[in-house]
Each structure stands twice: as C-alpha cells, then as structure tokens.
Structure 1
Amino acid sequence: MTTFAAAVASRLPGSLVGSAAVALYPRFEPELRRLADFCPPHGVALDIGGWYGPWSRRLAARCEQVVTVEPVPHLAGHLRRTLPSNARVVEGAATDREGTARLWFPAGDRGDRGVSSLARRDIHAHCLEVPSITVDGLGLRGVVFVKMDVDGGERAALLGAAELLRRDRPAVLVELESRLGPIAPAVGLLAELGYAGWLLAGRRWITLDGFDLVARQARTEHLVHRGLLRRAFLPHRERYLNSVLFLPDGRTPGAS
C-alpha cells in the first residue's frame, strides 16, 4: 500500500513529514476537527499509536496534558522533540501485558507508513522487538479521552486499559478495520464496560448499533489505497469510516 508517508518519508526530514501529516490529517479524518463533541477541555488525553503526532498536537492544545504511546523508536524520538511541553511520550506498544513484543513492518518500512502491528499480516516482512506496556500500568488519573490506533491489536490494548476505563469513564475513539481482523471482539468488550459506539457520518453522529460498518468498509476500502494526499484533496461521496467513538452509556456526542 503506497501512502503519502511512504512516498516522502525517505526523502524529507521527519519534521517536514510530521508537519504535513498534522496539516493534512483533519481533511480526511474529520473527527479530529470535532474534538469539542467528545473531549472536555481539561484533564489528561491519551494518544495510543502517536505516529507523527496529528492527534497529540491537537489534543495538547485542548487538554492539560497529553500522554502519547508510540512503539517505533525513531517516531517516539520525533514526538519528544516536536510535541508541546504538556505532552509526555511513552515508547512502547500498548497491549494486555508488560514485557517485550515483536512489532512488524512491511518491507522497506521503518514505521513511517503507519501500518506497523503486533499482529503479523501478509504485508509485513520484518520485525523489531519493542517494549510492551499496559495503559493501566502507566498509573494515569483524570483521563478524559483516549484515542487508539493499534492496527488489529484493539482488544488486547483495551484489556490493558480496562481499569482506567472503569474508573475514569473517558471517551474512547478507536480505529477499527475489518480488513485487519474482526471488529466484534473490541466492540463487545467495550459494551461489557458500558460503552456505546458512534460514527461521524457526514456532519452528524449516528449510533454504531444497527449500522453495518463492515459492509461500509468493504464498499469503500479502495479509498484506503489512494494514500494521504489523494484522500485529502479528492474527497468521495462515501468516506471510508474506521474511527469509532465510544462513550459511556448515557452520553452523546456534543453533550456537555
């Protein structure tokens, strides 16, 4: 899969790639422009899978503190150098156990494409041993929002954050893609924890319950392979939906 990051990361300094990603991301991931709908302007935000920091940077401007979890060493270093002073970077892969894990990459990729994963898929060719952590092991308090992008490892990462989710009841935005594996385990676990799912369809939020997300993704998967630039500047009638917002039962997006 050729993406914007894959095309330019080997030719440009990381700071420029990161700036481009931060600038372009809200164009095809509009949830990032709607933080006020689900992320209170106080407390701690947690960005799991920071990549070049498009979410972390926006969250740092809104919240008192951001904790960014990123397993790729050079990306974690980039985030430490470039994120605002109220952001803390934790180098590791969020899962359900502490120790070490194998992080898999496609051939020729060091993590810049944003498709590294603890679960090896057919696109992966080599791996790197990285620290594995649990969110609960970070000892965070007062978390109001969690963003999670872990490419197929959602259920394990959520299990490792279950204590925090039960205690702080933050909003949780999870990237779920049926092409990477079944999404039902993560959705079911969050339902057990008292969370309901929401999707941003156009300009309005709709409930995940009753919406066939798997069919929508199958119908629009071709958009994923067009890369960041084409997705940002050549919008289509139907957007590829993979960001699912989970709120504790009784909360709705946009409610104070």
Structure 2
Amino acid sequence: MAFAARTVYPRFEPELARLADLCPPDCGTAVDVGGWYGPWTRRLARRARRVVTVEPVPHLARLLTATAPPNVRVVRAAASDRPGTARLWLPPDDGGDRGVSSLVRRDIHGHFLDVSCVTLDGLGLKDVGFVKIDVDGNESAVLRGAAGVLARDRPALFVELESRIQPVAPVVTYLSLLGYDGWVLPAGTWVPLSRFPLEAHQARTSYVASRGLLRRVLPFGPLRGPRYVNSVLFLPDGRRPGGARVGDDGPHAPR
C-alpha cells in the first residue's frame, strides 16, 4: 500500500510532479504536515536539505520513521495552534490509511485516537522554504501555530482546501492579510486563485472526490473524469510559481 501510494500519487495530485514550481531550489527546511504514507516527504527530501514530517497516526508515523531518507525528521503528533493533547477523528472502518483523519470531526468520522499536538513554531524549525498542509479541516489552526515561521521565513505554502469540509474563505483571507496570494493548477498552467472559482469548481466536481485513488489516476480522461482541484499554492510578496511570470488567460482559463 505504501509503495503504491507513493508511486501513483503524482497522478492523483499533479502539483507533486511540479515540485520545482512550489519549493524553492535553495530550500533549507521543507515541512510536510500530514505525511500519510510519505509521497510528499520522499520527494521533498530530494529537493530540500531537511524535511520535517508531522504525522499523528501512530502506525504511519512509525512507517515513515523506518523508511524515510536520512534527512527527514518525523514528528509523531498533530499540528495545531497549541501544544497538548487532542482527539484525532477517523472513519469507523479506518485506522488512518485513507488519509482523512482530522482534529475536526465530521460526519464520516466514527472513532478517535488521543494524540499529541504541536505547533510548527514550537518545533525549532530554521530556514523554512516550503510547507505542505493536508489536515482535512484544521488548516486555520495549523497556520496560526506557524505565525512566527511565516513572518520570519516567508515560505511557500501548499494547502489542501475543500469547501465540502470547511469554508475556504477564512484561510484565503488570513493568508492574504499576511501578504500571500493563491495559485491553482486546474490543467497545465498555474492560474491565480482570484480568477478561479474554487468553491464553484469543487461543487461541480465533488463527485470525483468520492472515488477511490485508483479510479482517480486512470490514464484515460472519460473513465477518470475531470480533475477535482482541492489544493492551493500560496506564495508571499508577489512571487509566482517557479519564479517566472505566469499568464492570466489562455487555454488554462477555468471552464
């Protein structure tokens, strides 16, 4: 399962195959919040000098610790806005393998684990160039707990945002106030979030999100269906993906 997840994941989340657009070439520390089976951790380890992966599910954290490259540090905890202990909610038939566990309970969740919580500011991170956040609804708390890192290092942020889980606007507004602009990759070219109706797109393609990983990575479009965009790249201070100028119109415009 772990090998398969890492192998096919760039087709499920094509931004991972465009890591050079997201993570700066001189990245000292990259942070993977919600490591799961490690598809982001492993690729970030090839690009950044150090990777810190935060994963609260015990058996996934143990797997990552045992198999990750030597420049990876695994923190067995959930990232949030304060240290301590919290309930990590999971579906009734899932021990964390589906990647939908969260500190925020929703209707798919049926049982919980008590887990330790940390803040990114409390991990002693240095020279942070990139942070990926996939926490199924707890994004705002993770960002509040990283306020010091964001102010000091101005890292690129890749954040999963799904309106079916939590409203998108609070995260977008919070980061906008910090000088961050959002970008999405609906096709082959990055589009400013301000020109892409993310919530409307997700409402229109939400049925895709309920499909299994295999169905969503099939090579043929008619069987696979449309892309469901659920992650946003946030860059500070006028930066653009890959450091190059990106057009705002053309064949990549939202349909």
TM-score (norm 1): 0.91
Partner Cα distance (1:249, 1:222) in 2: 35
Q: 1:237 Cα deviation (Å)?
A: 5.8
Tell me how many residue pairs correspond in the alignment.
240
* 1:31 pairs with one of 8, 11, 15: 15
2:88 equivalent in structure 1: 103
Percent of paired sites with the same residue: 62
Q: Contact 2:184–2:192 at 8 Å: present in 1 too?
A: yes
CA RMSD of aligned residues (A): 1.1
1:242 partnered with 2:230: yes
- Cα separation, 1, equivalents of 2:90 and 2:152: 35
- 1:70 maps onto 2:58 in alignment: no
Question: Shift of residue 62 of structure 1?
Answer: 1.1
Match of 1:255 among 235, 243, 253: 243
Contact in 1 for aligned 2:208/2:226 (Cα 8 Å): no
1:22 maps to which residue? 6
Q: Check conservation: 2:216, 2:225, Cα contact below 8 A.
A: no
Out of 129, 140, 148, the position equivalent to 2:125 is: 140
Letter in structure 2 aligned against 1:164: V
Measure, in 1, the Cα distance between the counterparts of 2:171 and 2:203: 19
Partner of 1:169 in structure 2?
154
Give the SS at the match of 1:204.
coil
Q: Which amino acid letter does the alignment assign opposite residue 138 of structure 1?
A: L
In the other structure, the counterpart of 1:5 is: none
Higher relative contact order (CA 8 A, sep 6+): 1
Q: What corresponds to 2:191 in structure 1?
A: 206
- One-letter amino acid matched to 1:24: V
Measure how far apart 1:201 and its partner are: 2.0
CA distance in 2: counterparts of 1:119 and 1:37, whole angstroms: 30
State the alpha-carbon separation in 2 of the partners of residues 190 and 164 from structure 1.
13
Amino acid at match of 1:122: D
* Equivalent pair of 2:54/2:78 in contact (CA under 8 Å): yes
- Contact 2:45 / 2:69 at 8 angstroms: preserved in 1? yes
Task: Could you list the structure 1 runs, at least 4 aligned residues long, displaced by more than 4 angstroms after superposition.
Answer: none
Structure 1, unaligned stretches of length 5 or more? 1-16
Q: Deviation at 1:59? A: 0.3
Q: Deviations over 1:191-237 (max 9, x none)?
A: 11110000012110000013210010011111111111010015456
Q: Which residue of 1 aligns with 2:212?
A: 227
Return the alpha-carbon distance in structure 2 between the equivalents of residues 28 and 124 of structure 1: 23
The partner residue of 1:187 within 161, 169, 172 is: 172
Q: Following the alignment from structure 1 to structure 2, what is the Cα–Cα distance between the partners of residues 254 and 104?
A: 36
Partner of 1:131: 116
Instruction: State the Cα distance separating 1:104 from its structure 2 match.
Output: 0.4
1:13-32 CA distances to partner (integer Å, 9 max, x unpaired)?
A: xxxx1110000100121100
Structure 1 counterpart of 2:199, one-letter code: V
Match of 1:216 in 2: 201
